[in-house]
Structure 1
Amino acid sequence: MTAPTGAESGQVTWRDPKRYLWLIGLVVPLFPFISWGLVTFTGLGAFWWTGIVLLYVIFPVVDHLFGKDSANPPDKALTWLEQDRYYRWCIFLYLPLQYAGLVTGCWLLTHGGLGLPDRLGLTITLGGVAGIGINTAHELGHKKESVERWMSKIALAQTFYGHFFIEHNRGHHVRVATPEDPASARLGESFWRFLPRTVVGSLRNALHLEKARLNRRGRSPWTVHNDVLNAWAMSVVLFAALTVAFGPGILPYLAVQAVFGFCLLEVINYTEHYGLLRARTATGRYERCAPRHSWNSDNVATNVFLYHLQRHSDHHANPTRRYQALRHFEEAPELPTGYAGMIVLAYFPPLWRRTMDHRVLAHYDGDVTRANIQPSKSRAILTRYGKAEQAS
């Protein structure tokens, strides 16, 4: 589609090359249906694990095959891109497909005659949809329109992670790339150490932030106006309705898919700011967040599936900017591959450190003291990389 940019002196035309590619993101909530179809067609129960295979095998390979796209929309086209409601519908449609897949999955788990391995595979596939659904919630939750913010909470209900709506917007975006942020991973910190820190810390911060907001308004935190509690209430209603519809036996599977879903979010969080640190200014405050404080990836395949989440530096510089208008910055550190491949590496700390630690060091021109270092590893890291710096 050729679009006017709104220039007063004439029209500048530009065609968005990804315009219809964003619809590919709607393949993700179809995972349960794809699994069901493949099992029905082939008779092989292994296809209930299709979500895992797609997330951890197919997507990383596709990322490698299709390569990168660092092109930016022209500045004069950004306003038009932001206002084109087509892009919003690409996001909105995720939610009905997400919940259609959840209800269908619950029916298959309880009435499909599946064995335990098959039920577990389907549960993990549902969790993959829910986890990427948190990314959909992330995009919606940053917007100013109330309907999009409520849709964000609906997307989060499947993982019982509604507090993310508060902590991410008002916590992570304030403290990102600092030691105080539970969602910013530190140099030398493994994903398995980061996971409990970020889950507990994000929950604690969300409750504190919402309590403080309500206190300023003279309200008790025990109110329907508490955005953490009303988001959790959506999860309670959802899980209760599914329990009534499919019986209490569905609850363990709902719990497993929820945990897998929010762990998928957190492994992406681990990737996004690993080792990066905002310096303190002369006043003692942290410098303003800049593109250099987020790891970026321009791998086009995962960017399409995740609505440009990997253009993370522009997102932190402009949190309300819509996904289709996010830009690449040369100053932003670049990951060696897309998130799909990086999350696999994150599960294996030696591979992760071999891949990422030298990139953090290079980003800071060999000065490891400028990085966000895991306190328990500080002496070992400073000794190791300090000597390397002196030798160079």
Structure 2
Amino acid sequence: MNTMTMAEARAHDRKRWLWPMGFGIIMIVAALALTGWITGQTWLIFAGPIVVYGVVPVLDLLIGKDSTNPPERVLDILEDDPFYRYSTYIYVVVQLILFVAVCAIVGTQDLTFWQWLGFVSTIGMLSGVSINTAHELGHKNTAVESWLAKIALAPVAYGHFYTEHNRGHHKNVATPHDPASARMGEPFWRFLVRTAGGSARSALDIEKRRMARKNRSFWSVHNEVLQSWGMTIVLWGALMFAFGIELLPFLVLQAIIGASLLEAVNYAEHYGLLRKKLESGRYERCQPEHSWNNDHIVTNIMLFHLQRHSDHHAHPTRRYQSLRHFDEAPQLPTGYAGMIVLAYFPPLWYRVMDKRVVAHYDGDLRRANLQPEKRERLLAKYPPPHAPADASA
């Protein structure tokens, strides 16, 4: 490889120097929250939800999209460029430092209720965003990145995501068997309960079978779910030992906020999409049309190109800088940050998204992933082509 080739590859990544803003954004959020605490401007301590729910969606709309793809000839070069890996490594270190620092404040300082709530909501948002960095790292085939992924998941107590996402979700995505694929007509709050419990059960079952294949006990130190949960126990235990047992409610609530933020993204990624079941009983291979995509720049920077989700499912180990836009993939109307806000209000979500699912399947919802008890109602509301409309609808 020569320097001109590397330079050419880098020139094709228009967002190259923006990627460090992944950890830059969380530093800005933390700085705002700390400033609010020091100056008594309590509203600033809520910088996490303000930025995630307000600033980022607005910036997405103002700044717009980038749908350009790097040429095939430079993909391998981009993959080998350590600059991109270091951005994710630094993110994990920065997030862990900020997490411990906020825990120290909460555990040792006399905070008002609103200050406490501000810190828990902000660190919960940052913990949720850090799950995405764990997602990026967890797909890579290096020991360093695998362990960094588990470390990033430790604060939010969602270590089973590492196992279930890689070995469960990617196998069952866009099928009724996947707890992380939302069904059309399924409200987010119901999905949240289903996916949280289903993902944990799936991860435990996956590791139970993997340990059995290796003739090891489920309680083996090699069980990656137990490894990840153990890291949370050690981290939380150390923090409570250092800063007081009173820290426990803070730790639990920020973890719930962080996990729900991740699951709101999961809700948007495959809502209503369904892979066709073949005569063999298996499902067709996952294609670009089985993931909702979006190219709004700001959320893609914050989430390391997660919104180019179709290419991620086609090439799970491909690094974020090399992920491509597909014209044939269904597109969300705005970035994930804006879609999360919509997800919290099911009637608004249905108004925006259901017509897009219908259009994606050319009006035939029999091809979509529908909430079972709402199936007949949805088919009556959106009759398949050449089917008579329900006179009572």
Q: TM-score over 0.5 for the alignment?
A: yes
Coarse TM-score class (shorter-chain normalised)? over 0.9
Compared CA separation, residues 59 and 223, structure 1 to 2 (3 A): same
In structure 2, the partner of 1:185 is 182
Give the whole-Å Cα distance in 1 for the aligned partners of 2:55 and 2:9. 39
Give the aligned residue type for 1:147. V
Compared CA separation, residues 38 and 116, structure 1 to 2 (3 A): closer
Give the whole-Å Cα distance in 2 for the aligned partners of 1:391 and 1:51. 49
Mapped contact 1:127–1:256 kept (Cα < 8 A): yes
CA-to-aligned-CA distance 1:320-364 (integer Å, 9 cap, x gap): 000000000011000000001000000000000000000000000
- Give the Å deviation of 1:117: 1.2
In structure 2, the partner of 1:287 is 284
Give the aligned residue type for 1:309. L
Structure 2 residue 106 is the aligned partner of structure 1 residue 77:
no
- Give the Å deviation of 1:4: 4.5
In structure 1, the partner of 2:135 is 138
Mapped contact 2:132–2:303 kept (Cα < 8 A): yes
Structure 2 residue 45 is the aligned partner of structure 1 residue 48:
yes
In structure 2, the partner of 1:32 is 30
Give the whole-Å Cα distance in 1 for the aligned partners of 2:336 and 2:10. 32
State the TM-score, normalized to the length of structure 1: 0.95
- Give the Å deviation of 1:28: 3.5
- Choose from 349, 358, 363 the match for 2:360: 363
Structure 2 residue 286 is the aligned partner of structure 1 residue 306:
no
Matches within 5 A, 1:115-264: 115-264=112-261
In structure 1, the partner of 2:85 is 88
- Give the Å deviation of 1:387: 6.5
Give the whole-Å Cα distance in 1 for the aligned partners of 2:41 and 2:364. 53
- Give the Å deviation of 1:39: 4.0
State the TM-score, normalized to the length of structure 2: 0.95
In structure 2, the partner of 1:109 is 106
In structure 1, the partner of 2:13 is 16
CA-to-aligned-CA distance 1:161-191 (integer Å, 9 cap, x gap): 1000000000000000000000000000000
Give the whole-Å Cα distance in 2 for the aligned partners of 1:57 and 1:74. 34
SS class of match (1:20): helix
Any gaps of 5 or more consecutive residues in structure 2? none
Compared CA separation, residues 188 and 12, structure 1 to 2 (3 A): closer
Give the aligned residue type for 1:241. A
Identify the range of structure 1 (354-363 vs 102-111) with the bigger mean alpha-carbon deviation: 102-111
Give the aligned residue type for 2:30. P
**Percent identical across equivalent pairs?**
53
Give the whole-Å Cα distance in 2 for the aligned partners of 1:4 and 1:389. 58
Identify the range of structure 1 (315-324 vs 280-289) with the bigger mean alpha-carbon deviation: 280-289
Give the whole-Å Cα distance in 2 for the aligned partners of 1:13 and 1:308. 16
Identify the range of structure 1 (98-107 vs 264-273) with the bigger mean alpha-carbon deviation: 98-107
Give the whole-Å Cα distance in 2 for the aligned partners of 1:329 and 1:343. 22
Mapped contact 1:3–1:80 kept (Cα < 8 A): no
CA-to-aligned-CA distance 1:110-168 (integer Å, 9 cap, x gap): 23332011101111100111101100000000000011001100000001110000000
Give the whole-Å Cα distance in 2 for the aligned partners of 1:387 and 1:163. 39
SS class of match (1:386): coil
- Give the Å deviation of 1:3: 6.2
Mapped contact 1:73–1:327 kept (Cα < 8 A): yes
Any gaps of 5 or more consecutive residues in structure 1? none
- Give the Å deviation of 1:34: 2.3
Give the whole-Å Cα distance in 1 for the aligned partners of 2:208 and 2:240. 31
In structure 2, the partner of 1:297 is 294
Give the whole-Å Cα distance in 1 for the aligned partners of 2:122 and 2:237. 21
Structure 2 residue 274 is the aligned partner of structure 1 residue 271:
no
Q: CA RMSD in A?
A: 1.7
Identify the range of structure 1 (29-38 vs 72-81) with the bigger mean alpha-carbon deviation: 29-38
Give the whole-Å Cα distance in 2 for the aligned partners of 1:118 and 1:198. 31
Compared CA separation, residues 156 and 234, structure 1 to 2 (3 A): same
Give the whole-Å Cα distance in 2 for the aligned partners of 1:58 and 1:330. 28
- Give the Å deviation of 1:284: 2.1
Matches within 5 A, 1:306-385: 306-385=303-382
SS class of match (1:178): coil
